[in-house]
């Protein structure tokens, strides 16, 4: 793929801030999942500790991805961050439904989707302060 004048290949991805932030979220979630796996293998973690660690990794991933998305825009960071959190949550729901059949469409599951959108919106507000110039 040839590069545009004065641009890089990432400029195409940065043109869609929500997708850019979601890819950052997935990357951070992957790294966090690998870290949890390594810690769990080296020590004795019970199921509740693994579940709590997985939730923390997903929340941190959405927060960082929302910051990355909001840095690409000059205004409405809360919107782009919330959309990043929502897209990330929908990807996780799709994985939970189609691969592992673990997601339930009840109040708890919908609350987790809403929580990811709210965390993303908060990260987007923070990320707007660090807008990329």
**Per-residue pLDDT tens digits for 10-38:** 676 677 899 999 999 999 999 999 999 99
Closest CA to 28 of 125, 98, 119: 119
Using an 8 Å Cβ cutoff, are 14 and 23 in contact?
A: no
Residues in the chain: 133
Contact 21, 80 (CB under 8 A): yes
Query: What is residue 132's predicted lDDT score, i.e. its pLDDT?
Result: 60
Residue 1's pLDDT is what? 40
Angle formed by the axes of helices 107-129 and 47-71, nearest 10°: 40
Q: Kindly tell me if the per-residue pLDDT of 103 is higher than 90.
A: no
pTM above 0.95, yes or no: no
């Amino acid at each position: 793929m040839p590069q545009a004048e004065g641009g890089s290949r990432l400029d195409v991805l940065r043109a869609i801030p929500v997708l850019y932030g979601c890819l950052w979220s997935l990357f951070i979630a992957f790294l966090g999942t690998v870290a949890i796996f390594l810690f769990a293998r080296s020590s004795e973690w019970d199921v509740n500790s693994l579940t709590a660690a997985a939730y923390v990794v997903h929340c941190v991933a959405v927060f960082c991805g929302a910051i990355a998305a909001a840095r690409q825009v000059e205004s409405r960071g809360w919107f782009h961050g919330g959309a990043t959190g929502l897209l990330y949550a929908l990807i996780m729901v799709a994985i939970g439904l189609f691969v592992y059949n673990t997601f339930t469409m009840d109040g708890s599951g919908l609350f987790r989707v809403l929580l990811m959108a709210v965390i993303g919106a908060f990260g987007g507000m923070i990320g707007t302060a660090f807008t990329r110039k």
